[in-house]
Structure 1
Amino acid sequence: MTVEDIPASASPGGPAGRTAAVIPAAGRGIRLGPGAPKALRALNGTPMLIHAVRAMAASRYVALVVVVAPSDGAGEVKAMLDAYEHALPERTEFLVVPGGDTRQESVKLGLDVLPDDVRVVLVHDAARPLVPVDTVDSVIEAVRGGAPAVVPALPLADTVKQVEPRTDGTPEPVVATPERALLRAVQTPQGFDRAVLTHAHETVPAAGEGATDCAGMVERLGKPVVVVPGHEEAFKVTRPLDLVLAEAVLARRRANDGF
């Protein structure tokens, strides 16, 4: 089945129109050390960003992927996408735009170039290159079913402590222990009704709690955000050890299904 085969509204109450994914990839990724921006680092010989783009384009719903590149690197990212065109689905369109100084600004720049017929928007971290297509589809289907905002998430394996921060290097006192059963670790792609996400970016301040998380911005509007099951392989590649784990996941995929 192709995107053209899917009805404009998959479920009663869901938004009609196409689905697009916005991938903000303008960050430098300093926790991975010096060198190229994190999204451009190689993973199994292929830039991490290409893996992330392919993960979004693998969904039968996604008709357009917008990559928001570093402001001084849009040409490089466009050339990269062209070089890996053979590895990306022909039915999906791709677009590269220069990013801003913050994640919120970069996402807004991606939203600004979406065609009018896009009604469902995914926002995906370039640093989550291995999210399975089933997770992507679950997020989209929940939005098409009528949810204003959807996030994939996993239950926490560790007990979490709330502390009183210290800046002087002294031990931080624990002030609370949240009930772990009520907490979730949020992943991406996050999915949105486009009108809701656009309104959030137009009204929520660019600083403060929620400013770096699109779902948090929607929460601040008073709109409901729902959770669908995430996946262990949708982890964020932030530190060098994460690269090792990502390589292991890709090796297992190659052995099992030739991916």
Structure 2
Amino acid sequence: MTTLAILTAAGSGTRLGMDVPKALVELEGLPLVVHAARRLSASGVVDSIIVTCPRGLQQTMTALVADDERTSVPVQVVEGAGTRQASVRAGLALAGPDVGVVLVHDAARPLAPADLVRRVVSAVLAGRGAVVPGLAVTDTVKEVASSPDRAAERVVRTVDRTLLRSVQTPQGFARTLLDRAHDSAVDRSADEGTAASDDAGLVEALGEEVHVVAGDELAMKVTTHRDLLVAAALLADPTDLEAR
């Protein structure tokens, strides 16, 4: 039984304000997708990677990731679809029969450390069919009433933050469970308004359990230009990165 990582890299990244897809935005001279692939490979628990890329960029992405000398596992690139859910399904369709564990990871989390990858895979191999990394929520969280008046929303209650987790990737799954989750939600995948924002949500919709393991602050998501600056600062002082 092998472990496959599906690395989603088909997003546009419009909020970054760049003229290239987000996965190709450079962080200290390397595209985000290359950083992410290298860390998956460095974990020692990923046997192969399938990258989902924007339409028309399959050759470009192949040259960047599949031919990267520091990504030491086989890499295949497939064009993604209109939503993240549909893109993951496109990658999952290429998984070989020997794949027993599937990780789904976002290229927008380029610094997710190898130790985090190992932690997720270990939990799946221990019998948890769906595993997500998560961080405790430290801010006070308010639930508000639905209202068209966004200028001053009414607070309904203060949520118990001790029971909340901010979820990251890579998320890990028993391959059979992830197949079933995607098969059951094909009708949702074509439209951004109905498609799942993460694969664990599809598993939850089946009524199956999802477990949380400790996340890592380095697995931050690069969404804005500020996030890119923070990630660059982390790379400029790699001591913490090397420890993980």
Shorter-chain TM-score category? over 0.9
RMSD over aligned Cα atoms: 2.0
Tell me: CA distance 1:94–1:217, structure 2 relative to 1, closer, same or farther (3 Å). same
**Pair 1:217–1:24, CA change in 2 (3 A):** same
Residue 107 (structure 1) aligns with: 88
* Letter in structure 2 aligned against 1:96: V
Q: Distance in 1 between matches of 2:142 and 2:207?
A: 27
- Cross-structure match for 1:46: 30
Separation in structure 1 between the aligned mates of residue 183 and residue 206 of structure 2, nearest angstrom: 11
**2:197 corresponds to which residue?**
212
Q: Measure, in 2, the Cα distance between the counterparts of 1:222 and 1:42.
A: 40
SS at match of 1:80: helix
Task: For residue 223 of structure 2, give the secondary structure of its aligned residue in structure 1.
Answer: coil
Q: By how many angstroms is 1:170 displaced?
A: 2.9
Aligned positions of 1:84-233 closer than 5 A:
85-89=68-72, 92-167=73-148, 169-204=150-185, 205-206=187-188, 211-233=196-218
Aligned to 2:234: 249
Query: Number of aligned pairs?
Result: 240
* Runs of at least 5 residues in structure 2 that lack an aligned partner in the other structure: none
1:57 equivalent in alignment to 2:74? no
- What's the secondary structure of 2:132's corresponding residue? strand
Structure 1 residue 65, shift from structure 2 partner: 0.6
Q: 1:224 to 1:82 in 2, by over 3 A?
A: closer
Residues 168-192 of structure 1 deviation map (CA, whole Å, 9 limit, x = unaligned)? 5432222222101000000000000
| 8 A Cα contact 1:210 1:217, kept in partner | no
The whole-number CA distance in structure 1 between the counterparts of 2:45 and 2:240 is 27
C-alpha distance in 2, partners of 1:112/1:255? 36
Select 1:35's aligned residue among 3, 13, 19.
Answer: 19
**How do residues 9-20 of structure 1 correspond to structure 2 at under 5 angstroms?**
17-20=1-4
Task: Give, in angstroms, the shift of residue 161 of structure 1.
Answer: 1.3
Shift of the 209–218 alpha-carbon distance from structure 1 to 2, 3 Å rule, reads farther
Q: Structure 1 CA distance, aligned partners of 2:130 and 2:242?
A: 32
Conserved in 2, the CA contact under 8 Å of 1:147 and 1:226? yes
TM-fit CA distance, 1:254: 6.4
CA distance in 1 between counterparts of 2:180 and 2:115 reads 28
| Amino acid across the alignment from 1:97 | V
| Aligned residue identity for 1:224 | E
Q: Secondary structure at the match of 1:86?
A: coil
Does the 8 Å CA contact 2:33/2:65 hold for their aligned counterparts? Answer: no
Please, which of 60, 69, 90 is the counterpart of residue 76 of structure 1? 60
Which one-letter code corresponds to 1:206 in the other structure?
Answer: R
- Give the direction of change, closer, same or farther, for the CA distance of 1:19–1:185 in structure 2 (3 Å limit): same
Aligned equivalent of 2:6, options 22, 44, 59 = 22
Tell me what 1:3 maps to: none
Inter-partner Cα distance in structure 2 for 1:210 and 1:139: 24
Residue 188 of structure 2 aligns to a residue whose secondary structure is coil
**Deviation digits for residues 70-98 of structure 1 (CA, Å, limit 9, x no counterpart):** 12211211122255x22222xx1100001
- Normalising by the residue count of structure 1, what TM-score does the alignment of the two structures yield? 0.87
Q: Which amino acid aligns with 1:78?
A: T
Aligned with 1:77: secondary structure?
helix
The alignment's TM-score, normalised by the length of structure 2, stands at: 0.93
Q: Which amino acid aligns with 1:55?
A: R
The answer for unaligned runs of 5 or more in structure 1 is: 1-16
Task: Report the Cα offset of residue 34 of structure 1.
Answer: 3.5
Secondary structure of the residue aligned to 2:162 is helix
Percent identity over the alignment? 45
Q: Aligned equivalents of 2:63 and 2:122: distance in 1?
A: 32
The structural deviation recorded for 1:167 is: 4.3
